[in-house]
A and B are shown apart, each in its own frame.
Chain A
Amino acid sequence: MIEVTNLTKYYGDLCALDHIDFKIHKGEVLGLLGPNGAGKTTCMRILTCYLNPSEGDITVKGTKVTENPRSIKQIMGYLPENAPLYPEMLVYDYLNYVADTRGLSRNVKENRIRELSGMCGIREVMHQSIGELSKGYKQRVGLAQAMMGDPEILVLDEPTSGLDPNQIVEIREIIREIGRKKTVILSTHILSEAEATCDRVVIIHRGRIVADGNMAELKENAGRDTRIELILENAREKDVREKLSKIPGISGIEPGASTEEKGIHLSLSVHPGKDVRGSVYQVVKDSDWGLLEFHRHSKSLENIFRELTKENVQ
């Protein structure tokens, strides 16, 4: 449905997007992930025809964004980061204005505003001015605004940033609801959010795509690396290292990052496909160390993200 080809954007000398390619299929909820300044927003701004690409193009349903922006804007709803609205306007007036510019006829308009205000939970603030609203309500008004023209594609830039946990859950639910019928592209740097709402994620770092796939694929590609976290007391780190390194299957022992003050904290990396838990326990049992904590975890999206966006720094 949407094809991004060779997309490049320079701000002066700064390269915000560096020849990126990807496709978005119909009905997909795509998450654009990346650290701050990775190029997520730039990508979305080009897609919504706000910026022109320096090179390359985005094609939406066979139409290039640089060629016929109006027809693309017509089928697209966009919520920029922090929902920049007009604070002096009433919520109802604002939605009315958006409906007018989206070309909704009089009868359709009334119904649509009523429907969206119910869906986004803003019915009780319709006659307040936008400037008086809390951040969560503003975000919802922004969301209602984005959906006004019943768009086929919905582009949301950090839809949950700055919201409290309850509001985040609510907004996510709305997004998931919409995602059933429409193509949604959302950017975030909150990974659990991508995990919870997106069918597919594209990770961007320094203007390049470093990963593209659904959650399962990403985890697989990252090499199903498992680690064992261990906290021991009454032990000398040297002895522990010596004994544990003898266990076959353990490829490395690093000091773990723990907030616990008691004992020593180690993080063991394990060769893929090996289960060394039994042998580790045996070693601990044979000694007089006290075992405070012992657990295995496989790489979370967080780790994958950290790895992908860190490696390129050097």
Chain B
Amino acid sequence: MKQIVNIMRKELSSYFVSPIAYIVIAIFLVVTGWFFFSTFFLYNQASMRGFFSLLPVILSFVIPAVTMKLFSEEFNRGSFEMLMTLPVNRLEVIMGKFLAAMGFAMAMLLPTVVYAITISGLGELDPGPVIGGYIGAILLGGLFSAVGLFASSLTRNQIIAFIIAMAICFFLTMIDKMLFFLPQGILGIMSYLGADFHFRNIARGVLDSRDLIYFVSMTFIALYGTSLVIQKRK
């Protein structure tokens, strides 16, 4: 447990000592702010639904950019060898890096709380969907971080890791909008796989165990896959 915290702290600090963290956060805020507020006043409703409906698409670009270096860079530099010969095990390394990525995602979402505060000043903001939205955003950030971590463990090239992670995240986001292309037989599974669908459920303010199970199990699968890939390198 202590090792997980150590590794997480090291990864987080390496995010924040380089300008990349600030650039990614700034871009995230500019993009979400722009798209959200450009239509916000047209609806004339005090709700953050527009913001949360944007999140899955934007996060599926931003999170892979955050996670792409986690393993790829270590493989490329050879520092992975140094890391794995410290008294840590595979699980601790993966969890440490995963929690660092998720922590970063949360740090990125934190400034958007200002939107909620601003909007509640403009009108009557229903707190349920906002809280649900943030819980969903954290779960979604966790899932995408795990997917990104998995992609990063596959290759020593960060660009490839980014593209793989983005493709998977984008697939999970868009799949339930593409369902009419698919044959009847796999429709059920595919609509269940869609992260956006479950996220929307939670963002309505309804915490259903099915949606929670989806995020937890998918995150677990991605992390387990990472563990298998890392083990294969031994």
A12 CB to closest chain B CB (Å) equals 12
A80–B87 CB distance below 8 A: no
- Closest B-chain residue to A77, C-beta based? B85
Question: Looking across the interface, which residue of chain A has its beta carbon closest to that of B79?
Answer: A84
A164, B204: Cα distance in complex, Å: 65
Chain B residues near A98 (CB-CB < 8 A): 86
Q: How far is the CA of A100 from the CA of B78 in the complex (A)?
A: 21
Q: Mark A89-104, 1 if CB is under 8 A from B, else 0.
A: 1000100011011110
How close is B77's CB to chain A, nearest CB, in angstroms?
Answer: 5
Q: Is the CB of B6 within 8 A of A100?
A: yes
- Flag if B87 contacts A85 (CB, 8 Å): no
Interface positions, chain B 78-136, Cβ under 8 Å from A, are 78-79, 81-82, 84-89
Report the bound CA distance from A85 to B81 in whole Å.
10
- Say how far B31's CB is from chain A's closest CB, in angstroms: 26
Question: Does A74 sit within 8 A of B, measured CB to CB?
Answer: yes
In the complex, whether B10 has a CB less than 8 A from a CB of chain A is: yes
B7 at the interface (CB under 8 A from A): yes
Q: A97-B6, A101-B7, A103-B87 are in contact. Are A84 and B81 (CB under 8 A)?
A: yes
From A70, A84, A87, contact of B87 by CB (8 A): A70
Per-residue interface assignment for chain B, residues 1 to 25, with 1 indicating a CB less than 8 Å from any chain A CB and 0 otherwise: 0110011001001100110000000
A88 at interface by CB-CB < 8 Å: yes
- Residue total for A at the interface (Cβ-Cβ under 8 A): 30
Of A49-57, A110-118, A300-308, the one contacting chain B is A49-57
- Complex contacts, B82 vs chain A, CB 8 Å: 78, 80, 84-85, 145
A167 in contact (CB, < 8 A): no
List the B residue with the shortest CB-CB distance to A89. B14
Complex CA–CA separation, A102 to B77 (angstroms): 22
Of B2, B6, B14, B81, chain A has the most CB atoms within 10 Å of the CB of B81
Whether A69 is near chain B, meaning CB under 8 Å from some CB there, is yes
Q: Tell which of B3, B18, B87, B89 touches A88, judged by Cβ atoms closer than 8 Å.
A: B18
A219 at interface, CB cutoff 8 A: no
| Chain A: minimal CB distance from B81 (Å) | 5
Question: Size range of the interface on B?
Answer: 20 to 34
Task: For B20, give the chain A residue with the smallest CB separation.
Answer: A88
Q: Is the interface of B mostly helix, strand, loop or mixed?
A: helix
The answer to whether B79 and A74 have CB atoms under 8 Å apart is: no
- Does chain B have a CB within 8 A of A48? yes
**A45 at interface (Cβ–Cβ under 8 A)?**
yes
Which residues from chain A contact B78 at a C-beta distance below 8 Å? Answer: 80-82, 84
Q: Which of A50, A73, A97 contacts B81 (CB 8 A)?
A: A50
Q: Measured between C-beta atoms, what is the minimum distance from B90 to chain A in Å?
A: 10
A83 to chain B minimum Cβ distance, whole angstroms, is 8
| CB nearest to A80 among chain B residues | B81
A232 within 8 A of B: no
A84 and B86 contacting across the interface, CB-CB below 8 Å? no
Chain A residues, Cβ within 8 Å of B18: 88
Decide: A76 and B89 in contact? CB cutoff 8 A: no
Chain B neighbourhood of A49, CB < 8 A: 84-85
Could you mark each residue 236-261 of chain A with 1 if its beta carbon is under 8 Å from any beta carbon of chain B, else 0?
Answer: 00000000000000000000000000
| Interchain CB contact under 8 A, B87 and A74 | yes
Q: Which of B2, B7, B17, B81 contacts A45 (CB 8 A)?
A: B81
Instruction: Give the nearest-CB partner of A72 in chain B.
Output: B87
Q: Is A10 an interface residue (CB 8 A)?
A: no
Q: Give CA–CA (A45, B85) in the complex, Å.
A: 9
Q: Identify the interface centre among B18, B77, B87: most chain A CB within 10 Å of its CB.
A: B87
Question: Is A86 an interface residue when CB atoms closer than 8 A count as contact?
Answer: yes
A51 / chain B contacts, CB cutoff of 8 Å: 234
A228 to B183, CA, bound (A): 86
A103 and B86 alpha carbons, distance in the complex (Å) = 10
Assess the A50–B85 pair: CB atoms within 8 A.
yes
Contacts of B79 in A (CB 8 A): 84-86
Contact of B87 with A93 in the complex, beta carbons under 8 Å: no
Fill in one digit per residue for B219-234: 1 if any A CB lies within 8 Å of its CB, else 0: 0000000000000001
CB of A48 within 8 A of CB of B6, answer no
- Residue-wise, chain B 133-144 has the 8 Å CB interface mask toward A (1 for contact) of 000000000000
Chain B residue nearest to A53 (CB atoms) is B234
Shortest beta-carbon distance from B14 to chain A in Å: 6
Output the least CB separation between A58 and chain B (Å): 14
B13 engages A73 (CB within 8 Å) = no
Chain A residues contacting B14 (CB-CB under 8 Å) are 86, 88-89
Asked whether B81 lies within 8 Å of A69 as measured between CB atoms, the reply is no
Give A45 to B86 CA distance when docked, in angstroms.
12
Known: A86-B14, A100-B6. 14 other contacts (CB 8 A): A45-B81, A48-B85, A50-B84, A50-B234, A70-B87, A76-B85, A78-B81, A85-B79, A86-B79, A87-B77, A97-B6, A101-B6, A101-B7, A102-B86
User: Which B residues fall within an 8 A CB radius of A?
Assistant: 2-3, 6-7, 10, 13-14, 17-18, 77-79, 81-82, 84-89, 234
